[in-house]
Amino acid sequence: MTEIESFFDGYTKALLARDERAVAALYAVPALVLFPGQSVAVSDVRQTEAFWASAWDQYGGVAEALPEVAVIADAGFSVWADVTWRHDGVPSERFVYQLVRHEDGWRIAVLTAMALGS
C-alpha cells in the first residue's frame, strides 16, 4: 500500500466511524473546499468538524466506502489524488484532493468536487 493509499485508508475509517474530529484532523488549516457554485475557505478546524457533524445524514445506510485512488501529480511536498468513492459497491462521489505534507503525515489542503465518470 502506498503512503497516499494509507492516508485514504485512515480517512475512510474516520468517515465510516462518523467521527468528525478524526476526519477534521486530516484537513489542513487553512484549506479550500470547492463545490459547484460554492467555495469555502476553511480557517479553523472547528469549521471542518461542524461540516462533517452536519453531513453524516447524507451517508445514512452507507456501511462500506472504498476509495479508488489515482495520483495525478506529485511534487514531493504536495500530491493531487483523483478519488472515486464507491459506497456499498456503487460509484457515488468523485473528488480531487490536494494533499500537503505535514510533520506527522498528509493533510487535505484543497478538496474539489468532480463529476463522476468525467
pLDDT in tens, 56-100: 998 888 899 999 999 999 999 999 999 999 998 899 999 999 999
Contact (Cβ atoms closer than 8 angstroms) between residue 32 and residue 15? no
Question: Can you tell me the distance from the alpha carbon of 71 to that of 48, in angstroms, rounded to the nearest whole number?
Answer: 24
Per-residue CA distances from 51 to 57, 58, 76, 92 (Å): 11, 12, 29, 19
Domain boundaries of the chain, sorted by first residue: 3-114
Q: What percent of the chain has pLDDT over 70?
A: 99
Residue-level pLDDT at 117: 79
Contact 72, 96 (CB under 8 A): yes
User: Given this model, what pLDDT does residue 59 score?
Assistant: 87
- According to the model, what pLDDT value does residue 114 have? 96
pLDDT at 118: 65
Chain-centroid distance of CA 110 in Å reads 9
* CATH, domain range 3-114: 3.10.450.50
1 has pLDDT over 80: no
pTM: 0.93
